[in-house]
Amino acid sequence: MTVRPLIAGNWKMNGLADESSAELKALADLLANADTVACDVLICPPATLIYQMAQISKDSVLQIGGQDCHANVSGAHTGDTSAAMLKDAGATYAIVGHSERRTDHGETNAVVKAKAEAAIAAGLIAIVCVGETLEQRESGETLAVITDQVKNSLPVGATAENTVIAYEPVWAIGTGKTPTPEDVAEVHAHMRKDLAGLMSDADGVRLLYGGSVKGSNAAELMALDNVNGALVGGASLKASDFWPIVETGLK
């Protein structure tokens, strides 16, 4: 089955209106001038910028997403943002379960699952993140950890149309370190097998790799079996850094 790649940029807690608008416009211009756009391209800015970025990109193929959402539609949850609010601001995707949320905010698989279900209910595509720590990798637990996170974070009603899985080894995020291509291929094949036991259209689910993806290693990673795109952190903040990664999905 041919799976359309997704190249997603996660800006994390970075970006103010003027500079971020300029970078997004530059990226939209690059996409507009591409001969073909054979992949989906997504930027997930801070919540404060979603509406503005969605307005800038509305006439472009470039899509905008949120970095997190609350599991509830509304209520007394000071400082949180619901999936419906993301949708209302112009988002089409929501990242849930990023390791920084799991670590910094103590989010469990059950919390991630509830957030993914909320995203889907609001009409967003959920990007569910999974990944092992360095300690877990060194003790040989990687595949068991991934199975546990995939099975217990996968939203009810997940399909290839509304759910994306992103593998981000925690120890590779922002460190400049990446697993070997063989390691990435092994984990992605394992995720595909896990999903086959959980959903009927598992072959069509986009499996992204994330963790120090940059222009210099993107082509090698994207060429691997069962790698259908990338979730990019720091290298997505500037259009000039992000574009070489996007180009790997255009070929």
> For 108-119, how does the pLDDT look when each residue is reduced to its tens digit (9 = 90+)?
999 999 999 999
pLDDT computed for residue 183 by the predictor: 95
pLDDT tens digits, 22-55: 999 999 999 999 988 899 999 999 999 999 999 9
Exactly one of 132, 168, 188, 190 is catalytic; which is it? 168
Contact criterion met (CB below 8 Å) for 120 and 162: yes
What's the token pair of residue 65? 């997403």
What's the token pair of residue 227? 């790698």
pLDDT computed for residue 36 by the predictor: 87
Q: Can you list the pairs that 239-242 forms with residues at least 24 positions away whose Cβ atoms lie under 8 Å?
A: 239/23, 239/24, 239/26, 239/27, 239/30, 240/26, 241/214, 241/215, 242/9, 242/27
Rounded CA-CA distance 157/121 in Å is 10
At residue 251, does pLDDT exceed 80? no
DSSP labels for 184-216? HHHHHHHHHHHHHTT-TTGGGSEEEEESS--HH
- Per-residue pLDDT band for 126 (boundaries 50, 70, 90) equals very high
Identify the structural domains of the chain with CATH numbers, from first to last. 6-13+20-28+39-250 (3.20.20.70)
pLDDT computed for residue 122 by the predictor: 98
At residue 223, does pLDDT exceed 90? yes
Share of the chain above pLDDT 90, in %: 92
Exactly one of 23, 70, 98, 132 is catalytic; which is it? 98
pLDDT computed for residue 21 by the predictor: 98
At residue 175, does pLDDT exceed 90? no
Active site residue 70: no
pLDDT tens digits, 41-94: 999 999 999 999 999 999 999 999 999 999 999 999 999 999 999 999 999 999
Q: Give the number of other Cβ atoms within 10 Å of residue 30's Cβ.
A: 17
Active site residue 98: yes
